[in-house]
Structure 1
């Protein structure tokens, strides 16, 4: 037996030169150039591990045939099983009848009438493929022929028929899919939808990735009753320290939809562009410098003709915007241990207005900051901050405002560090240089001017810690007193300071550029306490804050603030934040939130009450009452439920509502969700309006051919749209 095994090993080794083939069997016989192995055969060749009941090897043709209960394992990634296999290891050819393959990483299996493999290529004739249990699979795809590249893990099916159990669902002449996450060109999963107003919705993403440093996704879509369009996203990584993306989209409305009695939009075309880019070492990379400090560039710029450009980019109601303003930003900075230099560009686009000419922009802001430094053995602290903002718009008045802050602090510890005492001198200046005239106030002219101020702050604080058997208590108290010293002002500030300091004049056009916060003679008292368990985990935080005013004509007591964060248990927590106004004898703000997370249940409930004193005796409602809630519940490993409900109690209006469930199995997910939301539009008159949408989402995920996405659905049905002005 041993001699026979060694002879076969040497024979196979001579055929394949550097590649050694080991064959183990309980019984071996020879007949000329043919070797017979029986009673359990094991073949080891490079990364292949094969087993069968019996085998025949022909030394003349170099063919190795395996019979009955064949199993093949290649690098632990997939297994092939069959009743007959013929392998020519010299030519790297393999044939299996019948054929069965299991990819262990993706859990996708394939069976067929026969299979032929050479190198990494596997061709299968007449079979099925699925990711479900091979015994009575929930879904499967039958095909007439197939080819699979084991190296790239790309699977092609021809004349594919999709079955739910044994019920045929659809047919496609070709279906290709990757069984790993390698980026490659191809079609992504489509999105389908049905709307009572927009008709049938279909989007077919096309993914292009020809090089490893960029990719492009094209998303053409059609809405049969509304129109059609295309969106694209180009992503790139141009260096090890930088990356970016460019999004462009266009959608054209049908005239019948544009002029319908239900929907009357301002624009028949919706288009936009977004550029994002970030670089974490921009100066050294772009200018060839060798600076030791950190430099960076961040770009996020957008432009669109209206808000529908965003809402049409996806079929997901969760992706639709409820804001009317788009912010574009460009930030660049250089940072060292001592200094920070930066410039910021901010451009606001108001999507509710036909023109953006009167919207204030910050183009640019220049910023210099000298970090906190010490003197006299850390008893003297100082820093410097300078910002200059070019507040610009196309029409009416613009201004360049420069702010300078120079705080100087003298501090020390007393009574063996039980008490910290600090004195701070706050030096502040603002200068405004105006240009342009105002059309709102024809007889008013802005004057250049500056504002200088100095005020003092005296503070004392202490913090005590006490350890008990089961918990640790940390208690702190601080008192801070601000004392106004003197100020000087010229030009614009001298004209409007007294007028704009009154709260009722905040919306006056003359106060548009006045942003000086008053500094009064006032004190702030703060009490904080923390409780920690024996494992040093915080379970309670409490803070009380009270403002005291010493200004003539102002209320002595400011609003009392109470903040509490209490973790009642490992899974249940409560948060409260409220303000009490002594003069109004009422709470002006109360916010409560409860969070529970245990036994598969995650629940968030919150309620906001706000009373805006500035709106009292005006036409605006001073009350805000808002309820938000969300629920997620995993009943078991298969069933999960979710719900969201946001309600404006004062307006008696549902802002957002959704409820649904998801059923999950190893090879598939199925979910249904109902959703409502309110989104803004620009109507035909150029006025701001809104639409309340109602949706039903149906999610079907066939694993691993589809990836679950809770914010998107395979099928979406829009029940109705309601317009409100």
Structure 2
């Protein structure tokens, strides 16, 4: 009887279907040794039981067929998919009522979080426990763990909660939590995120508590109310939604109300700080409607009435950019055609408002790509643009232009030399709006409302590319010379050379406010575009035999053949870069000014990444080009310089990282930070010392303040992280 029953178990794996026809459930029991007596089945030695999607192993499994209950004893291990692992000594299970008692039990999910309790009860895959330990660290010696009096784990919703929890570092209790809950999966779940806590000398205690809501898979929202005890209150709301191609659209709105006493103490401009942001990018918006068509839509819009709008989104938010450009762009292209539509809105928070800033609303473009005409040596392109440039105060204009380059290209001396010839045909019409009271810089009379501009430039180019392989490296060299000059030119009086020259003289002697009364032709057509000129370019590249770049050098110079003043305003540009050895890269850009007889701009970047060290060093300086051209250059007032460095190294016991920014012209540290951190699998700690200088908007325009702060951050992997910031006295 026993042998026959065991054979049936091995062949059929005891597959049974029980329950009514509306809710069929799979059951399976097997082992090396199976005995049956009445309604009782005892499986021993590698005992295995399957109930629905739960796999169970034990030293011994006793199953009651009438009561549909099972008792698992000895080294019980339970799996459900890849998201749950249970280890227990004894498990009582009723398959009919779905009630289970585990004594003692150990749970672990796919993220590494585990629960250990003396007794755990399961009702339809909802587990309740008492006197449990929760952690994500090593089971025997956890770095951190929580001891909870009771709790609950819902495997359907993949959420866990615990009451009366004490946080321990090793055996030392450090924090008490009356209640908390957290998700146990990597899927998005609604709930409270880690708060930001801090204290500052200006703002007092700061508390930011993000609330995350994810009711649907395609969208979610984060609400972040905050209180700064001595400053005010407000919050942010960020809404994110995904389209069918998983492109994310982000909408953010923020508001903060400052106390009257705080505004008075620091002479601030805005009592209410607010703003909004919109970001969305998508490829293939209209592709299904046309054959061989690809397109892309991009939007990045931000409006704010104060720089603090961006900073207040975080406890230590940093934002110092006074100028910002909002964009909405769309372009589409096929094999030969391109269309584009561009909107640009410029914001300058250094001004009281943006009423006098020219905005592009919109710029429309059609372009026909470079193509051959009658012969493979003859080529052409076609470009049409229409720009609407507007603003609230001051003149506006609408400009329509067309550009048609016609070119010829052929090679000489077995392709060692290439010769290019091109005729560039251009025509433009400009219509001014709101131009009452705007004067012509040359005639001092009312500027004309409609103006025209046309030219035909010709260009002759000579270039050569050579390359040669050597034993230990590969060398390429490129040379190019371009001569460009007008063959024909027509302009209205408002765009003549004398108007450009008259405006340049006024710009050298007037303030920006006074210049607004005069017509600026440079906003329409670049004066240098129709001037005869020569462009000279030369470059060298050296590569290793493996194809890695070892060294490069590039030089560029523009020479105006009939205008020495324009040539002097040009700079000799040189670029050089090298990899001295694996891990060290150095690049430099250098601009030499003939007017100042010195280098007017330079940037040097060095990076090192080897032996566990990651470091960068950047140096930049520049002389104000407008001051150079106007002849009013001052070595102190019109010169800026900046040095930035960063270093990161893992010492084993801790990781060090730091960076600094230094203003070399005014001799002060703009910002710096030093971070000591340590990550040990399930736990991380970081200590940060930092300082920065930031502009603020006051009733006296823009002023700067210096802030120093200390931040400590704890990371409990995979649970959460929390930090506290203490901001020190401002200077």
Asked if 1:682 is matched to 2:697, the reply is yes
Asked if 1:312 is matched to 2:317, the reply is no
Equivalent residues of 1:217, 1:233 under 8 A apart: yes
Asked if 1:427 is matched to 2:429, the reply is no
Partner of 1:456: 458
Deviations 1:465-488 (A, max 9, x none): 111122211112112222333322
Equivalent residues of 1:667, 1:702 under 8 A apart: yes
Equivalent residues of 1:577, 1:590 under 8 A apart: yes
Asked if 1:272 is matched to 2:275, the reply is yes
2:580 is matched with which residue: 555, 562, 568?
Answer: 568
**Between 323-332 and 660-669, the greater mean CA deviation after superposition:** 323-332
Asked if 1:235 is matched to 2:240, the reply is yes
> For the residues of structure 1 that align with 2:72 and 2:716, how far apart are their CA atoms?
35
Q: How far is 1:107 from its partner?
A: 0.8
2:710 is matched with which residue: 696, 705, 711?
Answer: 696
**Between 365-374 and 294-303, the greater mean CA deviation after superposition:** 294-303
Q: How far is 1:31 from its partner?
A: 5.3
> For the residues of structure 1 that align with 2:623 and 2:433, how far apart are their CA atoms?
39
Q: How far is 1:270 from its partner?
A: 0.8
Partner of 1:623: 639
Q: Compared with structure 1, are the counterparts of its residues 264 and 164 closer, same or farther at alpha carbon in structure 2 (3 Å cutoff)?
A: farther
Q: Give the total of aligned pairs.
A: 706
Q: Compared with structure 1, are the counterparts of its residues 607 and 240 closer, same or farther at alpha carbon in structure 2 (3 Å cutoff)?
A: closer
Q: Compared with structure 1, are the counterparts of its residues 284 and 626 closer, same or farther at alpha carbon in structure 2 (3 Å cutoff)?
A: closer
Equivalent residues of 2:572, 2:592 under 8 A apart: yes
Partner of 1:718: 727
Q: How far is 1:140 from its partner?
A: 1.6
Q: How far is 1:629 from its partner?
A: 0.9
Partner of 1:597: 609
Deviations 1:483-522 (A, max 9, x none): 3333221131136133246784796443534242314333
Equivalent residues of 2:31, 2:44 under 8 A apart: no
1:378 counterpart SS class: strand
Partner of 2:30: 23
1:653 is matched with which residue: 646, 668, 671?
Answer: 668
Query: Normalized against structure 1, the TM-score is what?
Result: 0.90
Q: Compared with structure 1, are the counterparts of its residues 585 and 356 closer, same or farther at alpha carbon in structure 2 (3 Å cutoff)?
A: closer
Q: Compared with structure 1, are the counterparts of its residues 391 and 582 closer, same or farther at alpha carbon in structure 2 (3 Å cutoff)?
A: closer
Partner of 1:384: 382
Partner of 1:343: 341
Partner of 1:176: 181
Partner of 1:580: 592
Asked if 1:524 is matched to 2:527, the reply is no
Deviations 1:353-386 (A, max 9, x none): 3333222211222222121111133211211222
Asked if 1:73 is matched to 2:79, the reply is yes
> For the residues of structure 1 that align with 2:438 and 2:668, how far apart are their CA atoms?
36
> For the residues of structure 2 that align with 1:36 and 1:497, how far apart are their CA atoms?
101
1:498 counterpart SS class: helix
> For the residues of structure 1 that align with 2:340 and 2:495, how far apart are their CA atoms?
28
2:545 is matched with which residue: 534, 541, 545?
Answer: 534
Q: Compared with structure 1, are the counterparts of its residues 440 and 322 closer, same or farther at alpha carbon in structure 2 (3 Å cutoff)?
A: farther
1:322 counterpart SS class: coil
> For the residues of structure 2 that align with 1:497 and 1:178, how far apart are their CA atoms?
67
Q: Compared with structure 1, are the counterparts of its residues 213 and 556 closer, same or farther at alpha carbon in structure 2 (3 Å cutoff)?
A: closer
1:705 is matched with which residue: 719, 726, 730?
Answer: 719
**Between 584-593 and 530-539, the greater mean CA deviation after superposition:** 584-593
1:566 counterpart SS class: strand
Deviations 1:326-346 (A, max 9, x none): 322222334332222222222
**Between 554-563 and 534-543, the greater mean CA deviation after superposition:** 554-563
> For the residues of structure 2 that align with 1:140 and 1:278, how far apart are their CA atoms?
43
> For the residues of structure 2 that align with 1:199 and 1:350, how far apart are their CA atoms?
30
Partner of 2:22: none
**Between 606-615 and 14-23, the greater mean CA deviation after superposition:** 14-23
> For the residues of structure 1 that align with 2:326 and 2:567, how far apart are their CA atoms?
43
> For the residues of structure 2 that align with 1:75 and 1:239, how far apart are their CA atoms?
28
Q: Compared with structure 1, are the counterparts of its residues 156 and 664 closer, same or farther at alpha carbon in structure 2 (3 Å cutoff)?
A: same
> For the residues of structure 1 that align with 2:571 and 2:299, how far apart are their CA atoms?
41
Q: How far is 1:461 from its partner?
A: 0.9
Q: Compared with structure 1, are the counterparts of its residues 566 and 372 closer, same or farther at alpha carbon in structure 2 (3 Å cutoff)?
A: same
Q: Compared with structure 1, are the counterparts of its residues 556 and 345 closer, same or farther at alpha carbon in structure 2 (3 Å cutoff)?
A: closer
Equivalent residues of 1:682, 1:689 under 8 A apart: yes
Q: Compared with structure 1, are the counterparts of its residues 7 and 198 closer, same or farther at alpha carbon in structure 2 (3 Å cutoff)?
A: same
Equivalent residues of 1:241, 1:280 under 8 A apart: no
Q: Give ranges in structure 2 of 5+ residues lacking alignment.
A: 20-24
1:499 is matched with which residue: 490, 499, 502?
Answer: 502
Partner of 1:370: 368
Equivalent residues of 1:391, 1:399 under 8 A apart: yes
> For the residues of structure 1 that align with 2:595 and 2:611, how far apart are their CA atoms?
46
Equivalent residues of 1:24, 1:42 under 8 A apart: yes
**Between 552-561 and 323-332, the greater mean CA deviation after superposition:** 552-561
Partner of 1:407: 405
Partner of 1:514: 522
Partner of 2:648: 632
> For the residues of structure 2 that align with 1:435 and 1:367, how far apart are their CA atoms?
22
> For the residues of structure 2 that align with 1:38 and 1:339, how far apart are their CA atoms?
75
> For the residues of structure 2 that align with 1:377 and 1:415, how far apart are their CA atoms?
21
Q: How far is 1:129 from its partner?
A: 0.8
> For the residues of structure 2 that align with 1:124 and 1:675, how far apart are their CA atoms?
44
Q: How far is 1:562 from its partner?
A: 2.1
2:6 counterpart SS class: helix
**Between 663-672 and 154-163, the greater mean CA deviation after superposition:** 154-163
Q: How far is 1:583 from its partner?
A: 6.0
> For the residues of structure 2 that align with 1:344 and 1:11, how far apart are their CA atoms?
68
Equivalent residues of 1:505, 1:511 under 8 A apart: no
Q: Compared with structure 1, are the counterparts of its residues 548 and 246 closer, same or farther at alpha carbon in structure 2 (3 Å cutoff)?
A: closer
1:546-565 alignment, distance < 5 Å:
546-551=557-562, 553-554=564-565, 559-565=571-577
Query: Normalized against structure 2, the TM-score is what?
Result: 0.89
> For the residues of structure 2 that align with 1:76 and 1:619, how far apart are their CA atoms?
70
2:472 is matched with which residue: 470, 473, 480?
Answer: 470
**Between 567-576 and 167-176, the greater mean CA deviation after superposition:** 167-176
Calculate the aligned-residue CA RMSD, in Å.
2.9
**Between 356-365 and 503-512, the greater mean CA deviation after superposition:** 503-512
Equivalent residues of 1:473, 1:532 under 8 A apart: yes
Partner of 2:204: 199
> For the residues of structure 1 that align with 2:125 and 2:214, how far apart are their CA atoms?
22
> For the residues of structure 2 that align with 1:714 and 1:343, how far apart are their CA atoms?
45
**Between 227-236 and 269-278, the greater mean CA deviation after superposition:** 269-278
> For the residues of structure 2 that align with 1:546 and 1:12, how far apart are their CA atoms?
86
Q: Compared with structure 1, are the counterparts of its residues 489 and 533 closer, same or farther at alpha carbon in structure 2 (3 Å cutoff)?
A: same
1:499 counterpart SS class: helix
Q: Compared with structure 1, are the counterparts of its residues 39 and 497 closer, same or farther at alpha carbon in structure 2 (3 Å cutoff)?
A: closer
Q: How far is 1:215 from its partner?
A: 1.3
> For the residues of structure 2 that align with 1:329 and 1:584, how far apart are their CA atoms?
37
